[in-house]
Structures are given as C-alpha cells and as structure tokens.
Structure 1
Amino acid sequence: MLPSRSALLALGLLAAFIPGPSAATGTDAPMAREAAAGAVAPAFARLADRLRRLGEDGLDPRAYGIPDDAFAEADPAAWHAALLRAASLALADLAHGRVQNLAGRPDLRRDPAAHPLAPLVESLSSAAEPAAVIERAAFLPADAAPLKAALAAARARVEAGGWPTVPAGEGTLEPGASDPVRVPALRARLAVTDPLLTAPPPEDPAVYDPVLVAAVQRFQAEQGLQPDGRVGRMSLAALNRPAEALVRQLRVALDMRRAPAPAPAERRIEVNVAHQRLQVLERGRTLLDMAVVVGRPDRQTPMMRLRMNAVQFNPPWGVPERNAKEDLLPKFRRNARAMAEKGFRVYQLVDGERVEVDPLSIDWKAVSRERFPYIVRQDAGAANALGRIKFIMPNTEDIFMHDTPDRHLFTRPERAFSSGCIRLERPLDLLDLVLEGTAGWDRARAVGVLDGRATASIALARPLPVRLHYTTAVVEAGEVRVRPDIYGLDEAYARALDAPARRPPAVASGPARVAGVR
C-alpha cells in the first residue's frame, strides 16, 4: 500500500514525490525540471530500470508500485511522481531493512540512525542520476558485494532449472558401492555445481568411484557435514535442498545486515548457532574462536541477548523434567545400574518432602513418560553431562554454556546435538577471558578448584554481554559460506520478507528490534 499524503508530510518525505525547488540547492532539481516540462528524462528511465532490478538486492520489485513505462507517455509528470514514490519506498527498505519485529528473534536489531532516511530521499529527488542513489543504498550493508554476487549466481541456477535430485534408496550409499539408480543421479547432481567433477564416468556408471567420492566430500565440507563420502540421510537432504532455498537464504542474509544496531565496544560473546561457533570479541579483535554444540532441531537453542555473570565449578546437574522424560527415561529402562554409576540420583516427593529413591528398585518399564513422577539429579564428576564448568547467564529458558565429557562431538562439522544449552570445545580458554578483572582468580586457582572436585561458584567482576544469533550466511575472506537452515528461521524470515508491506516506513533514531514488515 502506498503512503498517504498526510503520512508523507509527517515523515517529511512529500517533497521527494512532488517536483519543485530542491532543498539541497534552492533551485529546481534536474529531474524536477524535466517532470515539470512534461518530459520523460533518460535518468528517470534508468531509475525505473534499476528499481525493476531490485531482485538482485533480495527485494521483490512488485512490492513498490513501480509505474509502467506506458504510463509515462500518457502523463509524464504523474509517472515521475509515482516513480519517485516507488524509489523512496525502496530506499527505506535498502537502508533500514524490510523486515521488522520478527517473533522470536531478539538477536536482530536495527539502528535507523546508522543510515538516516531523509538525506537519502533528498538525494533521490535532487540527484542528476537518481538510480545511483538506489545503487549506493544497495551496497550499504556489510558484505553486500559478495552476498549480491552469490545471490546472482544462485538466481541464475534457479533460472537454469536448478539441479536434479538424488533418490533415497535403501541405506547409506558407501564408497565403492554399485547402485544403478543412485550413483548416476548423484553424479548428475554434483556435475551441476562442482567444476572439479570433470573426469569421465567409469566404465561402469553404477560404481561409486573415487572421483565421485571426492566430489561428495567437497560438497559435504561446504555444507558443514562430515566429509566422509558416505551419502546418508543428512547428505541426501543437503543434496536435494532446492536451489530456491539458497536464493531465499541469501536474500535473508542481505536484509538482516541492513542498518544493524552497533555492537558494544566492551568485550562480548557471540554464538552463531547456525554455524555452531563461539567468538569472544573486543573492539574489533577476535580474542577466542571455538566450536560449540548447540540444540538439535527438536530442542532448538533460542536466540537471546543476555549477560554472563557467574561461573560454577564442578556443577551438579538438576535435570529438567523434559530431559528426564525424553532423554534419560529410555536410558534408565535399558540399564538403571549404569545410570547410577554415572552419578544419577532419583528423588520422589512424599508429603511435600523430596525423598531419594534407589533407581534399581524402580520398574522403569512401567514408568509413564506422560506422568513422570521423579526428579533426577546428577552428581558433579567426570561423567556429569555439564562437565567441570558451567557458565551462568540468567534467563527464563534455563540456557547456559558448559563443558562436556562428550569431547568427540567437536570433531564433527555438524554439531546440533544438545537439548538447547551450549557445550564448549575449550571451556578453560573461555574461563581465562571471563575471569579477567575478578580479583584473586586466574587459571591456576580455577584448576585447583576443579581438581578439588567440590562444587563452588564465583560471581564475575565484569559480566559479559552474550548474543545467541542465527546467521546461516557468513563471509570469510570474501567467500560466502552458507550453512543449512536447520531451525527453519531463514524460511520464517523469508516469509516475512515477502509479506505485504505496511506503509509508510517509520523514520526513527535509535536501535529498534527487527520484528515484522513495514
């Protein structure tokens, strides 16, 4: 819906839509003179062409009411005004992002003051080449150039028909196997996207030969999967992800980067849940970078902004009810003695009092998952699921960071295995950084406490801001790396990106949480 005259007046943007004196020069702007004379300026024709190419910026040109060229012949002045109106709306989305107030995404915030809209619109109305104003706005986001190039390539692939799918078959396709259906389909699929897969197929095209195995391993590495050449459920899903899905992810990546709120200058922790990595950053420097394990798709790590304010050494684990019912009950059913040996204790409320129950005395097969009557706790120790250190970040979701005894998981490229909390590859390195400024504490003292095996907690002298965010497309050394949208959050963002806009855009100064479409 186009903005009303009163709304535009309130925004101070109506001058951009009506030919007249330029606020910048006090004289008639070139475009305004052409419009007043009833002419169709070549520069306006170029502006119309640039607006029709908003798809290369991840926006839908149909959302902006770009007037048809035929209208220019019938009423040039009205066509100019409609074109400037469309350009102004596009400018607002290019500068500030189209999506606002997206539910469940506190990790995304805008700062409209980063690129004030009024000067951009004024430039649009007074510039000799208004298309150049749109072009400049398109490159305002960080990493715009490589993301736009990747988007162009992805769109070209879609227009060329995408890529063929690979049938599921039975079981994992192993290197050296023979499969007359899956192997030729796999070769055809990767030949579309892997320029290194140039060798002719073997004499027997059904054989999963070393050349094709190497191509699969390259694909798996790009997708953040275990590069073992085995084509199982996860690799098959990545191979068969539609080309259109990549286009949507790159469109989302561009819009997410428009007018982001500035990062705090103080030391902070950033966890990219989609890429399963943690960084400690300070004044543009990366102090620490490590792999993490995040929540699996059915137990998603929520996106949050919070503060880490304490550390607990040798933590016991008070098992949440959901974990106890869904994760631990099957293990108690299989081997209650082994669970007791790992330090799990079972309690039951009797007359309001918590009473410990011998887990070996319970008929676990008769215990109902829907009406689970027990409280489960795991003692501190080497087998404890939280490892030896717990980093506390108060929140209503009971999310925290912690060590883990399952160290083997960090060797895997795909690490969405937890029940929502964040497991750390190098907890002691993080401990070193968060303890700085806390009097009397260093690694030596912390290791002494850990070796003592007693549970102890310490408040941090300098609580650190923490952001758990979901950014599937990152740019490293100019290269775009896109991880799978395991939680479907990019798809939700893409739906908001294409939803009908609520106009007019607000001009505000100060950070605003990203949460809906304007």
Structure 2
Amino acid sequence: MHAMLDTPGKVSIPLQARYDILLTDAILNLMNNLHYGKLNPEFPASRIDALTGTKFQADAALLAGMGQKDLLSVIAAAQPADKLYRAMQWRMHMLEGQLQGDCYEIPEAEVRKLAINMERLRWSNTGDSVYIQVNIPSYTLIYRAPDSLYRFKVVVGKPETPTPTLVSAITYMTTAPEWKVPAKIFARELLPKAKKDTAFLENNHLAIYDLKGNFVQPTAANLALVSKTPAIYFARQSAGCDNALGLLVFRFANAYDIYLHDTPEQALFKRKERAFSHGCIRVEQAEKLGSLLLSYDGAKARTGLLHRDITTYTKQNFVLKKPVTIKITYLTCMIKDGELQDFGDPYQLDHSLEMAMYGTDLPLSTSLKK
C-alpha cells in the first residue's frame, strides 16, 4: 500500500487491482465477524454470503460509508449496539488502555473472558429494542420493554440436559396447558416410576396413549407391555396446579422443542444455582410476564382474562399481534457498575470457545498486579 501511495507507477495495475480486491474482502470479512461473530454456529460464512433483505450486509454498509471521512467508524458500526456489549467493550478498553498505561499488568484471563462473551453477544445480535433475554449461567430472564426493564428468576437445563442457545420469537401463550411428555423422559423416567407404583400416573394427572390416541389402562401387565416398545406410546399430563408446565406456557419456534413456562415447583427459585430442568426454561412470576407481553401487544384489557383462565385452570391461547424476540444466551460474565460479574460456567463451555478464538491456553501469570 505504501509503495502504491508513495511511488505512483511503481506497482503494476494488475497488482494494485489484486491488492484492492484482497483488502476489500478482508474489510468485509472483518465487518461480518464484528456483526455476526467469527464462530457463530447459526451464521457460517456461506450463509452470510447468501443473505438478502433486512439482514445486515457488509458490502452495502461499506458502500454506503465510502463517502464518509472516518472509514474506521463505518467498520466499527457493524458491532452490536446492545448495552451489554458496549459495557464489555468499555471494560476491555479500560483494561487494555488505562491499566497498561498505569504500568499494571493486563489481566489476560479477564480480557479473554470478555472477548468470548462479546463473541456470544454477536451471535444474538438482533438489534431489537424490545426483547426477552434468558441468560443460562446467571439463571435470569430480562424483559426489556420500550421504557422499562424487568428481571425474573429462571430454572434452566441440567448439564446433562442443557438448555440450548437460540434466537426466536414468542408468538403466543397458553393457559392451563396439557403437557405431552418428551419421548426420552417417558421411556427413561416416567415408565420406571409407574411400574414401581401404578398410582404414580393418576397422582400426577398423567395418562398413557398409543399413537392412535387410544387410552392405555395403567395396569401392571399393560405397563410391562408398553416398556417393551415405548416408542409407539406417549404420555400426556392434564392441566392443573401441579402440571409440569404450571399454568402458563410461552411458545416460540425452535428446533429443540423447548419452551418457557410456569412451574408448580416454586421453591426452586430460592436456590442460588438453578439448573434442574430437562432443557426447557421455568420462569418465576409467569403471569406477570404474560401480562407485560399483553400490555406491549396493545391488549392490556386482556390481562384480566389471562388471570381468570389461570386461576380457573381454563385452557386458552393468547396470540400476540407483535411477536416478541426471545434470546437464550450463555454469557458467563456481565459488567455491573463498571466491574466484572462472573456467573460461573455451568456447562463448561468457556474453555472450548476460548481455544477456538485464541488457539492457546492462558499464560501462567494472569492476575492483576502492579
């Protein structure tokens, strides 16, 4: 580049063109990495290249910014505008700039932790001003409304049945829902309990059906038969105060068949660490969250109907005119009052992402010291 600028004519036109193409490609790749993340499992380079429509497109953003004086600002604008991301970015700038200038040793472990969590925030970079964020390591749900922020406690999946990260949209809620027991839970947990105690099913409002919908009487002989070929049977739990889904479930499309729901096991929300589910997310104060979504949807008058249907165990769908984005994230840290909050790593995912980004383990000295 210096040869082309300082000594015009020294570099051949074909080489200048090749350099131009490679530099442009590198800038576009950088912008895509800043926006979608370098290691985003949902947006590999092939998918990004094929994007059209409303999704961020680096070529269009770069072209639109070519007339501006500060090209670096155009490139940096590809990053998430999310407050969580900006707070982490500020903290990293402080660590890499202020501490270094004051003769502190940079705490490499904290820098890397910030870097991998900023990468994860790029994966959920939707740009929405209104959304629900479930963060697995902190066991929290945040509902960000136009002018308010509400926090709820959640229960997430156990390490052996983890809650997946994803981005979707809540489209409707159902009061007093029935629960179709997932096949693995049916075969591995429910049937063994029912065989030991034939009253187990009735006591938990559960019933077994064949694939044609025919009810199967829970006799010892029938349960033994079902256990031989559980794949051609299923169980369903009727609505009620002790239904596994509780009295309200929030539905959103996803490939994992998980959902956000109420629970009769309210005592679990008093625990500090709340990884107890089979992958679905249980939320405290589910009715309050449902009422907030109805109010945002312009249907505040229906909150009374929601309460009535919950208290009378009446099944009813409440469809949202404006679906609300839901992000399930795995952020092992956040910034509060300028300081790092470490939530732990319940699924032990930090190390693999760190290795993918850095390729090396941490140096021996990672502490902050003067």
TM over 0.5: yes
Instruction: Please point out which of 263, 276, 286 is paired with 2:127.
Output: 263
The 1:452/1:481 distance shift into structure 2, 3 A limit, reads same
Instruction: Please point out which of 205, 214, 226 is paired with 1:343.
Output: 205
Using the alignment, how far apart are the partners of 2:329 and 2:93 within structure 1? 22
1:354-393 superposed matches below 5 A? 354-362=213-221, 364=223, 368=227, 371-393=230-252
Using the alignment, how far apart are the partners of 2:95 and 2:221 within structure 1? 58
The 1:365/1:262 distance shift into structure 2, 3 A limit, reads closer
- The residue that corresponds to 1:272 in the other structure is 135
- The residue that corresponds to 1:432 in the other structure is 291
Give a deviation string over 1:417-436, Cα, whole Å, max 9, x none: 11111111111111111112
Using the alignment, how far apart are the partners of 1:313 and 1:254 within structure 2? 37
Q: Which has the higher Rg, Structure 1 or Structure 2?
A: 1
- The residue that corresponds to 1:142 in the other structure is 86
Aligned 8 A contact 1:309 1:392 in 2: yes
Q: Which secondary structure state, in structure 1, belongs to the residue aligned with residue 160 of structure 2?
A: helix
The 1:362/1:112 distance shift into structure 2, 3 A limit, reads farther
Give a deviation string over 1:344-397, Cα, whole Å, max 9, x none: 101124xxx332122243475786488554310001001100000111113332
Give a deviation string over 1:427-455, Cα, whole Å, max 9, x none: 11111111124558433221212222232
Q: Which secondary structure state, in structure 2, belongs to the residue aligned with residue 271 of structure 1?
A: strand
Using the alignment, how far apart are the partners of 1:259 and 1:19 within structure 2? 39
CA RMSD of aligned residues (A): 4.4
The 1:323/1:148 distance shift into structure 2, 3 A limit, reads farther
TM-score, structure 1 as length reference: 0.52
- The residue that corresponds to 2:183 in the other structure is 321
Aligned 8 A contact 1:147 1:254 in 2: no
- The residue that corresponds to 1:132 in the other structure is none
The 1:252/1:318 distance shift into structure 2, 3 A limit, reads same
Using the alignment, how far apart are the partners of 2:279 and 2:144 within structure 1? 23
Residue 335 of structure 1 deviates from its aligned partner by: 2.6
1:79-98 superposed matches below 5 A? 92=30, 96=34
Using the alignment, how far apart are the partners of 1:258 and 1:469 within structure 2? 11
Q: Which secondary structure state, in structure 2, belongs to the residue aligned with residue 497 of structure 1?
A: helix
Give a deviation string over 1:79-128, Cα, whole Å, max 9, x none: xxxxxx9xx98x9489937952432589xx98859996988xx9799xxx
Using the alignment, how far apart are the partners of 1:493 and 1:309 within structure 2? 32
Aligned 8 A contact 2:169 2:252 in 1: yes
Query: How many positions carry a matched residue from both structures?
Result: 321
Instruction: Please point out which of 97, 101, 117 is paired with 1:253.
Output: 117
Using the alignment, how far apart are the partners of 2:190 and 2:4 within structure 1? 73
Aligned 8 A contact 1:274 1:486 in 2: yes
1:393-408 superposed matches below 5 A? 393-408=252-267
Using the alignment, how far apart are the partners of 2:144 and 2:343 within structure 1? 22
- The residue that corresponds to 1:484 in the other structure is 344
Percent of residue pairs identical: 25
Instruction: Give unmatched runs, 5+ long, in structure 1.
Output: 1-16, 22-31, 34-84, 126-139, 159-243, 501-518
TM-score, structure 2 as length reference: 0.70
1:18 equivalenced with 2:2 (yes/no)? yes
Using the alignment, how far apart are the partners of 1:459 and 1:326 within structure 2? 34
Aligned 8 A contact 1:94 1:258 in 2: no
Aligned 8 A contact 2:170 2:326 in 1: yes
Q: Which secondary structure state, in structure 1, belongs to the residue aligned with residue 138 of structure 2?
A: coil
Instruction: Please point out which of 159, 167, 170 is paired with 1:305.
Output: 167
Residue 491 of structure 1 deviates from its aligned partner by: 3.1
Aligned 8 A contact 1:391 1:402 in 2: yes
Using the alignment, how far apart are the partners of 2:91 and 2:237 within structure 1? 48
1:33-432 superposed matches below 5 A? 92=30, 96=34, 99-103=37-41, 142-143=86-87, 144-147=89-92, 248-256=112-120, 261=125, 263-265=127-129, 267-283=130-146, 285-349=147-211, 353-362=212-221, 364=223, 368=227, 371-432=230-291
Q: Which amino acid aligns with 1:102?
A: N
Using the alignment, how far apart are the partners of 1:496 and 1:414 within structure 2? 28
Judge which range, 465-474 or 481-490, deviates more.
Answer: 481-490
Give a deviation string over 1:182-217, Cα, whole Å, max 9, x none: xxxxxxxxxxxxxxxxxxxxxxxxxxxxxxxxxxxx
Instruction: Give unmatched runs, 5+ long, in structure 2.
Output: 8-22, 45-54, 73-80, 361-370
Residue 250 of structure 1 deviates from its aligned partner by: 3.2
Q: Which amino acid aligns with 2:86?
A: A
The 1:149/1:259 distance shift into structure 2, 3 A limit, reads farther
Using the alignment, how far apart are the partners of 2:32 and 2:105 within structure 1? 19
Using the alignment, how far apart are the partners of 1:105 and 1:94 within structure 2? 10
Using the alignment, how far apart are the partners of 1:438 and 1:98 within structure 2? 32
Residue 477 of structure 1 deviates from its aligned partner by: 1.5
Residue 156 of structure 1 deviates from its aligned partner by: 6.7
Aligned 8 A contact 1:269 1:278 in 2: yes
The 1:98/1:498 distance shift into structure 2, 3 A limit, reads farther
The 1:102/1:348 distance shift into structure 2, 3 A limit, reads same
Q: Which secondary structure state, in structure 2, belongs to the residue aligned with residue 397 of structure 1?
A: coil
- The residue that corresponds to 1:212 in the other structure is none
The 1:362/1:100 distance shift into structure 2, 3 A limit, reads farther
1:474 equivalenced with 2:334 (yes/no)? yes
- The residue that corresponds to 2:14 in the other structure is none
Using the alignment, how far apart are the partners of 1:278 and 1:105 within structure 2? 25
The 1:372/1:94 distance shift into structure 2, 3 A limit, reads closer
Using the alignment, how far apart are the partners of 2:209 and 2:267 within structure 1? 31
Q: Which amino acid aligns with 1:354?
A: G
Using the alignment, how far apart are the partners of 1:298 and 1:110 within structure 2? 35
Residue 319 of structure 1 deviates from its aligned partner by: 0.9
